[in-house]
């Protein structure tokens, strides 16, 4: 019976953790939309939304409410089932990716340590990659089921873009894995806590990874699947109401999760920089809280950079996109990988 009790406690803990991470993802995604509009405003010498509540902090609620009250249209010529599946898949995939990310130091209690990570599996980062690859189905199915030429074109663009940019992304990741020697997210973080952040040793790898992350999230300058002025909003052109909201929201959750992945892989995860926090002798829960805040600070910074880039750089042309991916980033990532391997071998011998 003891085993059953432990199992129930384990399930409760994980359910609570999953619920809070999903809630957190939604919350952050909501406020990323506000941040996006605010920062866009500031960069264009405007104020951004500032009417809904003080400084516009109720703007995301107003936007969401508006989406709920919009008329929901399903085109006659569309495939009903796939038309619904598209946004659902995009949202599910965006949320599932956050399972393996360690959000903070484990909380040590009398009952044992509670990890702030839903699943610390051995192949952690690989799960992120495989799930992100499924994400393209959300775009493809949505664009195809709409039965609209623009949507289909956008879906094809999206698929080819994702396939092209996953390659240099994984190649940049391999160089990181050479150093950490583990796919486990928690071990990647503890390696960085002991040896310094990966971005210091892998600046080129980080750059490549970041560019590819932009492309994977369909963010400007790689937002070809939803190019407003050439494809009429692309794959979600036929969508309305909350189905459109799901697509837009999934994009922001993707941004949040990929920022978290980058923070974990390259910026030391929940590590507090320049100090050895183990010597502070803090209460475990307080230390967990601080480490979680540090993680969130890193994620927020990366989200800011995402937005900053969006409002600076114009969109690539399709041929430029393919050129950059296949003829610039992949050779660079290969070079980075070989160089890292050579240096590591030289250091070991």
Q: What are the residues binding other proteins (CB under 8 A)? A: 39, 42-47, 50, 207, 308-309, 311-313, 324, 328, 332
- By beta-carbon proximity to other proteins, the closer residue of 43 and 119 is 43
Please choose, from the candidates 126, 124, 123, 134, the residue with its C-alpha nearest in 3D space to the C-alpha of residue 162: 134
CB atoms within 10 A of CB 272: 18
- Name the residue nearer to other proteins (CB basis): 185 or 329: 329
Cβ-based nearer residue to other proteins, 130 or 312: 312
For other proteins, the closer CB: 135 or 325: 325
Q: What are phi and psi of 45, to 5 degrees?
A: 60, 35
DSSP state string for 287-347: HHHHHHHHHHHHHHHHHHHHHHHHTTSPPPPHHHHHHIIIIIIHHHHHHHHHHHHHHHHHH
User: In the chain, how many H helices and how many E strands?
Assistant: 13, 2
User: Smallest gap, in angstroms, from Cβ of residue 343 to other proteins?
Assistant: 22
For other proteins, which is the closer residue by CB, 281 or 314? 314
Toward other proteins, which CB reaches closer, 51 or 80? 51
CA distance 265 to 85: 31
Shortest distance, position 296 Cβ to other proteins, whole Å: 21
Q: Within a 10 A sphere around the Cβ of 132, how many other Cβ atoms?
A: 23
Q: Which is nearer to other proteins, 39 or 145 (CB)?
A: 39
Q: Do residues 136 and 158 make contact, with C-beta atoms less than 8 angstroms apart?
A: yes
The most distant pair of C-alpha atoms in the chain lies apart, rounded to whole Å, by 67
Distance in Å, CB of 207 to other proteins, minimum: 8
Shortest CB 154 distance to other proteins, Å: 24
User: Please, what is the minimum distance in Å from the beta carbon of residue 124 to other proteins?
Assistant: 30
In 3D space, the residue among 207, 256, 239 whose CA is nearest the CA of residue 71 turns out to be 239
**Min separation Cβ 43 and other proteins, Å:** 5
* Least gap, CB of 47 to other proteins (angstroms): 5
Q: For the CB of residue 313, give the shortest distance to other proteins in the complex, in Å.
A: 6
Nearer to other proteins, 56 or 104 (CB): 56
Of 149 and 328, the one with the shorter C-beta distance to other proteins is: 328
Residue 107: what are its φ and ψ, rounded to 5°? -85, 120
The DSSP 8-state label assigned to residue 108 in this structure reads: E
Conformational region of residue 201, where left means phi above 0, alpha means psi within -120 to 50, and beta covers everything else? alpha
**Which residues, other chains included, contact 161 with Cβ-Cβ below 8 Å and sequence gap of 6+?**
215, 218, 222, 224, 225, 321, 325
Spell out a b/e string for 19-53, using b for 16 or more CB atoms within 10 Å of the CB, else e.
eebeeebbebbbbbbbbbbbbbbeeeeeebbeeee
CB of 256 to other proteins, least distance (A): 21
């Amino acid at each position: 019976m003891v085993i059953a009790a432990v199992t129930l406690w384990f399930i409760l803990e994980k359910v609570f953790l999953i619920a809070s991470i999903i809630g957190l993802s939604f919350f952050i995604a909501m406020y990323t939309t506000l941040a996006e509009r605010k920062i866009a405003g500031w960069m264009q010498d405007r104020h951004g939304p500032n009417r809904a509540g003080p400084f516009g902090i109720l703007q995301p609620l107003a936007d969401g409410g508006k989406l709920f009250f919009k008329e929901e249209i399903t085109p006659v010529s569309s495939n009903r089932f796939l038309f619904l599946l598209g946004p659902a898949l995009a949202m599910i995939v965006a949320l599932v990716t956050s399972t393996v990310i360690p959000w903070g130091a484990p909380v040590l209690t009398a009952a044992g340590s509670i990890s702030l990570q839903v699943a610390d599996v051995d192949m952690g980062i690989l799960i992120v990659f495989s799930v992100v690859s499924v994400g393209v189905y959300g775009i493809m199915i949505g664009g195809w089921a709409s039965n609209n030429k623009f949507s289909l074109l956008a879906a094809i663009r999206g698929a080819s873009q994702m396939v092209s940019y996953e390659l240099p992304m994984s190649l940049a990741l391999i160089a990181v894995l050479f150093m950490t020697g583990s796919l486990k997210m928690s071990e990647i973080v503890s390696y960085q806590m002991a040896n310094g952040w990966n971005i210091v040793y892998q600046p080129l790898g980080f750059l490549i990874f970041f560019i590819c992350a932009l492309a994977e999230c369909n963010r400007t300058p790689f937002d070809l699947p939803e190019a407003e002025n050439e494809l009429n909003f692309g794959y979600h052109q036929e969508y309305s109401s909350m189905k459109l909201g799901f697509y837009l929201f999934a994009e922001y959750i993707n941004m949040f999760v990929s920022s978290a992945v980058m923070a974990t892989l390259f910026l030391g995860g929940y590590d507090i920089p320049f100090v050895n926090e183990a010597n502070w002798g803090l209460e475990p829960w307080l230390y967990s809280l601080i480490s979680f805040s540090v993680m969130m600070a890193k994620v927020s910074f990366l989200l800011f950079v995402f937005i900053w880039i969006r409002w600076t750089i114009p969109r690539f042309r399709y041929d430029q996109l393919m050129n950059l991916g296949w003829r610039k980033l992949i050779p660079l990532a290969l070079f980075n990988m070989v160089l890292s391997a050579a240096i590591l071998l030289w250091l070991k011998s």
